Chains A and B, each alone.
Chain A
C-alpha cells in the first residue's frame, strides 16, 4: 500500500539549514507530482512546494522562495526539502503529499509529518 514517511525534523537555530526526507513506498515517486505542505503549531495548512512528476518543474510559495529547494532521488524513491536560512516562522510540522494522477493540485496521500522547530 502507499506509504510516505518523513524524517529529518528537529530543533535548529535561525539562519541554519536542515534537509527533510520523505521515503515513498507502494508506488514509484517519479511517476507522480509531489508536494510539501506545512502546518505551524495550532495553525492552518500552508502549501510550500511542488515538483512535477517528470522532475522538470519546481514551484514554491512566496514565503520560502529562494530559501527552500525541493528535489527527489528516483533510485531511493525519496523526496527531499532542503531548507536554508531558516527563520522562526518556519517552525511547523512538514508533510509530504502525493498529487493525484494527472492532477497536480489535489493531494491523495500524506505522510505523518515531521516537526521542525527554529529557535535560538
Chain B
C-alpha cells in the first residue's frame, strides 16, 4: 500500500490561507469517512487536527478545516500564523490489507 500523495511543501504569508491536498484512491480516501489530519513540529509527537474528514477536536483552532471531494481530501488553514509552521500528514482507513495509510507529508512554511 503506497502512501497517500501530498505536496512536499506549501508556503504562505501570515494571514493568508493555504490548502494541503491528500490524494488517494477509492479504496482509502474516496471510500472512507475516516480521514484525519495531523500536525507535527520538529522533534515532537503528531497532534490530531481534523478527524472523520471535517471534524475538529476540542482545543484545535477554528482556522483549521477539512473537506473531501472524490479521492482527494484537503486541509485548509485560514489566516496562517507563525506557529502553524510544521509538517502535516493526512491519514485514512483503507480497505486494503494494510488497514491504515498515512500521506507522504507536507512541510508548511510561513514566509
Binding site for B on A (CB under 8 A): 37, 44-47, 50, 59, 61-62, 95, 97, 100, 103-108, 110-113
Contact of A105 (CB < 8 Å), options: B45, B97, B98, B100: B100
Check A47 against B52 for contact (C-beta < 8 Å): no
Pairwise interchain contact B99-A47, C-beta atoms closer than 8 A:
yes
Q: B46 and A106: CB pair below 8 A?
A: no
State whether B99 touches A59 (Cβ < 8 A).
yes
Asked whether, in the complex, the Cβ of A45 is within 8 Å of the Cβ of B91, the reply is yes
Q: From A47, A97, A111, name the one whose CB has the most chain B CB atoms within 10 angstroms.
A: A47
The reply to whether the CB of B3 lies closer than 8 angstroms to some CB of chain A is yes
CB pair B93 A105 closer than 8 Å:
yes
Of B14-22, B75-83, B101-109, which stretch is located at the interface? B101-109
Interface residue tally on B, bucketed by range = 20 to 34
Asked if B61 is an interface residue, CB under 8 A from chain A, the answer is no
Docked pose: A44 CA to B101 CA in angstroms: 11
Q: Are B97 and A44 in contact (CB under 8 A)?
A: no
- Interchain CB contact under 8 A, B34 and A106: yes
Counting CB contacts under 8 A, is B89 at the interface? Answer: yes
Since A47-B100, A95-B45 are in contact, a sample of 10 more A-B pairs with Cβ atoms closer than 8 Å, ordered by chain A residue number, is A44-B104, A45-B40, A45-B102, A47-B91, A50-B99, A50-B100, A95-B46, A105-B92, A107-B48, A108-B48
Q: Mark B48-68, 1 if CB is under 8 A from A, else 0.
A: 100110000100000000000
Contact: A44 with B105, CB < 8 Å?
A: yes
Contacts of B97 in A (CB 8 A): 62
* Structural contact, B47 and A110, CB atoms closer than 8 A: yes
B99 and A107 within 8 A (CB): no
Task: Tell me which residues across on chain B come within 8 A of A95, comparing CB atoms.
Answer: 45-46
The distance from the CB of A99 to the nearest CB of chain B, in whole angstroms, is 10
Asked if B1 is at the interface (CB within 8 A of a chain A CB), the reply is yes
Q: Is the CB of B105 within 8 A of A113?
A: no
B36 at the interface (CB under 8 A from A): yes
A113 to B46, CA, bound (A): 10
Among A37, A50, A95, find the residue whose CB has the most chain B CB atoms closer than 10 A. A37
Beta-carbon contact of A103 and B45 below 8 Å: no
Could you say which residues of chain B place their CB within 8 Å of the CB of A111? 45
